[in-house]
DNA sequence: CCATTCGTTCAACACTTGTTGACCCACTCA
DNA sequence: TGAGTGGGTCAACAAGTGTTGAACGAATGG
């Protein structure tokens, strides 16, 4: 049912966006391997061949669906840094962009996704490590901060652990804050 | 080259064990989907059909390769509990059984693995929640403790983040301890 | 020493996957 | 109105998957 008052170019952009959305949803839910071009096409009410024509390959579709992992943060104030990190967990429910979930879902079973995540987390770790109060191993502390948040996010968003799903996210943040601060370094 | 002084039954058990080992290694490295029966068979220097005859199906092979997720812990002393949890991260390098890594590798992309992990973590959370000092949300605190350790383990064992790979694991444990205690509850 | 078990292999099936090239037809535009 | 662009579909291929049934051949046991 073609929406009226829409130019051919508009329709094309719309179709392309619809495909990309379906892909993101499926990749986020099932990962790279288990998401099939045919399923994406069906979800977008389109022929599989069209997906190929627009995106070239399944891999290319994946990278377009992912876009970017969160950019590294920079703050010199530890408290502000912690707040910023915690807010990325989701002010309400599922606060991080779907493209990020797509990456996380596939990072344990797809080489390309793993490389991407390793690099992105590495950048975050460096940037946080530099912002932490002086201590013996700022980079290791930063890595532990990041992996802690990673674990909580996985349990919450990807595994849907009941205890986390049912908890208000500001409560989660409140409980997490002292732990993150403890990891970050010497009080003060 | 058949080892002499080995009965037919012995050889059969040896072959079966060799297949299971190859399977565990591949499942742990690449996950359920990307591990093929043919690859397992090749790694065990055996025909693919033999794998089927011994294990029935790829799924069955997987569950046999996994065996059990860590059993829930029970201790009433918080400090001892924390120590026990930290030691599961690996006294030296990679302290947890390969079967556990197999599960973790596939939990984000395989429904059965996800269910298994959810259940196992749920049990751990319950058990830890009951052992925690009285507070408002013992179960939520327990969930955060577990997911924190999960995240660090993933970063360390499955993603091989450089900052974690290069760190002595007792240093990791030392940095983690205060954070876990902060999550566990009120000091005392 | 022969019949038989049984560990093991061979060859094939049925199916799904990513990917491709030919084709159709509604819309644009001159 | 009539040619032509281009969004979209159809049908098929080649490769790889889990899985199966028949067959082989060395060790066994009577």
Segment A40-82, tens digit of pLDDT = 999 999 999 999 999 999 999 999 999 766 666 666 666 776 7
Place of tokens 């059909």: B49
- Helix (H) / strand (E) element for A170: namely helix A169-184
Q: Is pLDDT above 90 for A188?
A: no
Segment A15-48, tens digit of pLDDT = 999 999 999 999 999 999 999 999 999 999 999 9
Predicted pLDDT of residue B69: 65
The CA distance from B184 to the nearest CA of chain A, in Å, is: 9
Q: Which bases on strand C have an atom closer than 7 Å to a protein beta carbon? A: 6-12, 16-22, 27-28
Evaluate the CA torsion angle A44, A49, A53, A55 in order and state its sign: positive
User: What is the C-alpha separation between B26 and B28, in angstroms, rounded?
Assistant: 5
Instruction: Say if the Cβ atoms of B114 and A159 lie within 8 Å.
Output: yes
State chain B's maximal CA–CA distance in angstroms: 65
Predicted pLDDT of residue A90: 62
Predicted pLDDT of residue A2: 38
- Residue A83 pLDDT level (bands cut at 50, 70, 90): confident
**How confident is the prediction for chain A on average, in pLDDT?**
89
Could you tell me how far CA A167 lies from the centroid of its own chain?
Answer: 21
Stretch B62-72: mean pLDDT: 80
- The CATH architecture annotation of domain A8-65 reads Orthogonal Bundle (1.10)
Contact B50/A at CB under 8 A:
no
Residues in A closer than 8 angstroms to B172, CB to CB, are 140, 144
Mutate: best of B114, B125, B145, B150, partner A, most A CBs <10 A: B150
- Range list of H helices, A75-168: 78-87, 98-106, 111-131, 138-153, 162-165
Predicted pLDDT of residue B9: 84
> B114 — alpha (psi -120 to 50), left (phi > 0) or beta?
alpha
Tell me which protein residue sits closest to nucleotide D27, measuring alpha carbon to C1': B8
Domain residues of chain A, as ranges? 8-65, 78-184
- Residue B2 pLDDT level (bands cut at 50, 70, 90): very low
- Residue B93 pLDDT level (bands cut at 50, 70, 90): very low
Q: Is pLDDT above 70 for B5?
A: no
- The tally of CA atoms less than 13 A away on the side-chain side of residue B53 is 9
> B132 — alpha (psi -120 to 50), left (phi > 0) or beta?
beta
User: What is the C-alpha separation between A31 and A35, in angstroms, rounded?
Assistant: 6
Closest CA to A35 of A56, A19, A53: A19
Predicted pLDDT of residue A172: 93
Stretch B34-61: mean pLDDT: 98
- Residue A93 pLDDT level (bands cut at 50, 70, 90): very low
| Superfamily (CATH) of domain B8-66 | Homeodomain-like (1.10.10.60)
- Higher pLDDT: B77 or B54? It is B54
The CA distance from B131 to the nearest CA of chain A, in Å, is: 16
Segment A104-137, tens digit of pLDDT = 999 999 999 999 999 999 999 999 999 889 999 9
Looking at chain A, the whole-number percentage of residues with pLDDT higher than 70 is 86
Do the beta carbons of residue A141 and residue A184 sit within 8 Å? yes
- The tally of CA atoms less than 13 A away on the side-chain side of residue A115 is 3
Closest CB from B108, B149, B171 relative to A140? B171
Please write down the HEC assignment for all residues of B124-141.
HHHHHHHHCCCCCCHHHH
- Lowest model confidence (mean pLDDT) among A79-83, A158-162, B16-20, B126-130: A79-83
**Rounded distance in angstroms from the CA atom of residue A53 to the C1' atom of nucleotide D5:** 16
Contact B130/A at CB under 8 A:
no
Stretch B159-188: mean pLDDT: 91
Place of tokens 């490295």: B29
- Higher pLDDT: B92 or B2? It is B92
Predicted pLDDT of residue B1: 38
Contact A104/B at CB under 8 A:
yes
């Amino acid at each position: 049912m073609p929406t009226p008052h829409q130019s051919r170019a508009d329709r094309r952009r719309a179709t392309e966006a619809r495909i990309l959305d379906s892909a993101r949803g499926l990749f986020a839910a099932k990962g790279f391997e288990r998401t099939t071009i045919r399923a994406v096409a069906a979800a977008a009410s389109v022929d599989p061949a069209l997906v190929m024509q627009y995106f070239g390959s399944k891999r290319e579709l994946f990278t377009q669906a992912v876009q970017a992992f969160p950019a590294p943060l920079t703050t010199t104030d530890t408290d502000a840094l912690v707040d910023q990190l915690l807010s990325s967990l989701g002010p309400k429910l599922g606060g991080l962009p779907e493209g990020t979930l797509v990456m996380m879902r596939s990072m344990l079973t797809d080489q390309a996704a793993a490389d991407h995540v390793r690099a992105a987390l590495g950048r975050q770790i460096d940037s946080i490590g530099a912002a932490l109060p002086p201590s013996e191993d700022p980079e290791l502390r930063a890595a532990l901060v990041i992996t802690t948040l990673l674990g909580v996010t996985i349990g919450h968003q990807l595994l849907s652990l009941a205890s986390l799903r049912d908890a208000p996210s500001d409560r989660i943040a409140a409980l997490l804050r002292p732990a993150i601060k403890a990891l970050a370094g010497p009080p003060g």
